[in-house]
Structure 1
Amino acid sequence: MIPDRVMRKIERCLALSKSANSHEAGIALRQAQALMAQYGVRQEDLALSDFDEACVLSRSGITPPRYLEYLAQLINRSFGTVSLYSARRDWSSSGRLKASGCYKFVGPRDACRVAGYAYEVLQRQLLRDRRAFMNTLSTRLKRETKRRRGDAFAEAWVAGAQQIVTPVAMTPDRQALAERYLERRYGNLQVLEARGHQPLKRHDQRAVTAGYRAGSAARLSAGVDATHREALTQGSIQ
């Protein structure tokens, strides 16, 4: 494992190597090359040093519902990140075993932070709108029916929310680096099987229509799209 202080020093030297002062730039470049040779640092290591992850808490327990996975994938397409769901069980203060989880967004440091923020904002609106819709359902409905319609509403909500963010194509280089980061940090990851719902019935269509309409009205703060564009530009991989 290459010490963080070494990586930071190499990064500073490489930054100085772009100086307009050719003498200063030459010295900085030679120092960077010497450190890279001494510690076996490769270009991939330098690129990965800019990668980080942002964790957004979820109350979904061990297995998240499919609509939250859809939302995570929407964020990935919009901010050029990849994500994974991490869950664990802990003992609560009352002595009960409680499950908690979070979505982790991985990518260049600035991009993953903005992606995490965007997911948190949209998740809050999605869950709020889903609760409001559930409250409009007849109390005579079975619990199973309510849950199915609530999930259908939420999945359609994510589809409607696509129009408020601008997709960013992840380059093959960035995709490869993200996979390498995950491999180094977590080893072999299991494929997430999100919790789905039973097939929809004819009367469930109202939930789909309402969900799409509500998702279309979702909002991020005014500066998020501009901020993430700037972050992706600054953290772009050549």
Structure 2
Amino acid sequence: MSMSREEAILKIKKCLALSKSGNEHEAAIALRQAQALMLEFQIDPDLLDIVEANCSSNVKKTPQTWEAMLVSTITKSMQCRLIFSSGNPFYGTKAQWTFIGVDPAPEIASYAFDVLYRQVNRARKSFIETSLKRVTVKKNKVRRADLFCEGWVEAVRHLIIGINIEVVANTTARITKYMDQTHGSLNSFTPKDRNKGKTINHSDYRAGQQSGKSAQLNQAMNGGKQYERLGTSL
């Protein structure tokens, strides 16, 4: 059975690790295997540690401003690049965010988004059921809930920025190179802002800020030192 590109990359990484062995014969064989696979699959050695991590969004087509704020903060903190893909109900696919960066930054970014996204959506649901239960016009209720979420996201910024991750040299240039080779030209989009041009109820925003103070970003997967700071919480 032929080897996939992803399998080849894993094999190359293992061979490169073995190439540092104290056994010169073993190291030489491993290095030759790595070089042969990189040539066969046309894999740039500078991009071996550039990886992607996906996470789902609840939106169908265009994300709201508050969701874009959350993912943007995570992306900048992790020094990643970002792609948003709309869902397609016909094919049963969900909208998703893709973080692209130096391993393990994208996995940490995906973890942080998943954890905080679940929390903000729970907080939003609770806010609608309690503070907005007397609001009868649905679009007004949705707009006010969006403001609440914006305040919530602002309150958790320090949790995201506080994640301690080492980023190697030339990260931006290498990610750009990866993007050009893998994804080419991408379209841009503008997040949906339901409150644009509307009268703002600042109490909703402040309620979101207050709720966000109870957010937590606990330790993630087995990631060693790269994940230690994920134990930080409010």
TM bracket (short chain): 0.7 to 0.9
| Alignment CA distance shift 1:141-1:163 (3 Å) | same
Q: Which has the higher helix share?
A: 1
Tell me the C-alpha RMSD between the 2 structures: 3.3
Whether 1:35 and 2:31 are equivalent positions in the alignment is no
Counterparts in 2 of 1:46-61, with a 5 A limit? Answer: 46-61=45-60
Whether 1:105 and 2:99 are equivalent positions in the alignment is yes
Distance 1:113 1:25 in 2: 30
| Alignment CA distance shift 1:210-1:194 (3 Å) | same
Query: Which sits farther off after the overlay, 72-81 or 7-16?
Result: 7-16
Residue 193 of structure 2 corresponds to which residue in structure 1?
A: 196
The residue matched to 2:22 in structure 1 has which SS? coil
User: By how many angstroms is 1:206 displaced?
Assistant: 0.5
Residue 231 of structure 2 corresponds to which residue in structure 1?
A: none
User: By how many angstroms is 1:229 displaced?
Assistant: 4.5
Query: CA contact under 8 A between 2:11 and 2:34: conserved in structure 1?
Result: no
Whether 1:164 and 2:153 are equivalent positions in the alignment is no
TM-score, length of structure 2 as denominator length = 0.77
Counterparts in 2 of 1:87-166, with a 5 A limit? Answer: 87-91=86-90, 100-135=94-129, 136-137=131-132, 139-140=134-135, 142-165=137-160, 166=162
User: By how many angstroms is 1:36 displaced?
Assistant: 7.1
Which whole-Å deviations, capped at 9, do the CAs of 1:144-198 have from their partners, x for residues lacking one? 3322221111111111011223155866622223233333333211112111122
User: By how many angstroms is 1:8 displaced?
Assistant: 4.4
- Number of residue pairs matched by the alignment: 221
TM-score, length of structure 1 as denominator length = 0.76
Residue 16 of structure 1 corresponds to which residue in structure 2?
A: 18
Residue 224 of structure 1 corresponds to which residue in structure 2?
A: 220
Residue 79 of structure 2 corresponds to which residue in structure 1?
A: 80
Q: Which AA in structure 1 matches 2:214?
A: A
User: By how many angstroms is 1:51 displaced?
Assistant: 2.8
| Alignment CA distance shift 1:88-1:33 (3 Å) | closer
Distance 2:202 2:112 in 1: 28
